[in-house]
Amino acid sequence: MNEIKDKMVQRFMEYVSFDTQSIDDATCVPSSDGQFVFARYLEKRLKEMNLEDVCLDEKGYLYATLPSNSSRELPVIGFIAHMDTSPDMSGKDVKPRIVENYDGGDIVLDGEAGVVLTTSDFPEVKEYVGDDLIVTDGHTLLGADDKAGIAEIISAVEYLQAHPEIEHGKVRIAFNPDEEIGRGAHHFNVPLFGCDWAYTVDGSCEGELEFENFNAGSATFNIQGRNVHPGYAKGKMLNALRVATALVDAIPSQESPECTQGYEGFYHLMGINGGVDSATVSYIIRDHSKEIFETRMAFMKQVAAMMNERFGNGVVSLELKEQYRNMREMVEPKMYIVELAKEAMIQAGVEPKVKPIRGGTDGAQLSFMGLPCPNLFAGGINFHSRYEFVSVQVMEKAVKTIVKIIAGLVNMK
């Protein structure tokens, strides 16, 4: 596997140079031009690798095939990663560098600006002593989410091409836009992809294997106040911002992301915008339990009703949307696809860490579109931040895991 390490790192360094930041309020697909630029670049590279069925559609979804080299009828499986980076932090002019043989201390990202990846704030970095870490210059995110996944999938395919003695079935790969804004699966062509199942390569630390995620929804409270001159406001003014603060106080603060972990759900306050005359309060709602999630969604309706009873009928209106569901119910009937990944990790020298995703994944939506799709680790840590990093050695293990999954199909009962 050592022969692919340098190429894998080179690929990743090239990939993060593309600005593929998605735009949350965009109406086009993909949401940013940079994603299409990157998709065309990848399309060219996949064709140069002589992969079959290379197809880039008008929405920026890229598909390709590694043909089978086996005479047996084997399942067709796929590997998927997303091209966009988070809208929450710039992905432009990323300047990665490698900290070789990390010594366990603080990592200065930009000494002049005082940006330091400290072990006190990020103690998990000390787990990577001796590894080669790819970090940022402290002014952008890195983009390991999910360009590490793309680099790993392509490197695994290249390894199999170079080693025809490894028997394997047909393998499909796909790279999609706009995962970070929750739309990555919206235009994914599952029938065209033609797989029995797939894996997203979009997880974090070494060994992560996830097949369950939050049920997710959003709530936007629109508040209509009444503004008059403050000198003559008595009995007339209705300050929309005061209604907003009362609304926020009605939602349990202890059930927020900063107070929950594991399988615990939450209400996450995303924004308060507006002024005296009108305001909006936006939340996202998450829970692994379908029943508790539905209770949480219903509670938001109760909050709106409470505010209208207190401040006047029609003052608060609510937009409530379901975003995605827990893929566990779609994957659980086919748990052999999780067991295959666990065994592949063990063969690759990785300890499987089966855990729930405290978030969403394209795989959740794809699972409900008929493509069961657990999530594999890609290696990135501190996603969406200037402190993001990825271990080269963990990336190598991700490549090995992908190869072992593909090869393992031959012996699967």
Q: 215-324, what's its fold? A: Alpha-Beta Plaits (3.30.70)
Helix 5-15 with 392-408: angle, nearest 10 deg: 110
Mean pLDDT, the chain, rounded, equals: 96
Q: Is 14 exposed, middle or buried (0-12, 13-18, 19+ CB in 10 A)?
A: middle
The pLDDT score that the predictor gives to residue 259 is: 97
Mean pLDDT of 257-283: 96
- Looking at the chain, the domain(s) classified CATH 3.40.630.10 span 2-212+326-411
Q: Name residues whose C-beta falls within 8 Å of residue 185's C-beta, 6 or more positions apart in sequence.
A: 176, 362, 365, 366, 369
What CATH number should be reported for the domain whose range is 2-212+326-411?
A: 3.40.630.10
- Record the pTM: 0.88
d(CA 338, CA 211): 8
- pLDDT of 77 > 80? The answer is yes
- Looking at the chain, the domain(s) classified CATH 3.30.70.360 span 215-324
d(CA 159, CA 395): 14
The token pair that represents 329 in the structure block: 């119910």
User: Could you tell me the pLDDT band of residue 401, with boundaries at 50, 70 and 90?
Assistant: very high
- pLDDT of 218 > 70? The answer is yes
The pLDDT score that the predictor gives to residue 413 is: 58
Task: Give catalytic residue positions.
Answer: 84, 179
- Over residues 290-336, the pLDDT tens digits come to 999 999 999 999 999 999 999 999 999 999 999 889 999 999 999 99
- Over residues 328-381, the pLDDT tens digits come to 999 999 999 999 999 999 999 999 999 898 877 889 999 999 999 999 999 999
Contact 31, 23 (CB under 8 A): yes
The pLDDT score that the predictor gives to residue 1 is: 61
pLDDT-above-90 percentage for the chain: 94
Q: Name residues whose C-beta falls within 8 Å of residue 16's C-beta, 6 or more positions apart in sequence.
A: 91, 94, 96, 142, 143, 144, 147
- pLDDT of 383 > 90? The answer is yes
The pLDDT score that the predictor gives to residue 183 is: 92
User: Could you tell me the pLDDT band of residue 204, with boundaries at 50, 70 and 90?
Assistant: very high
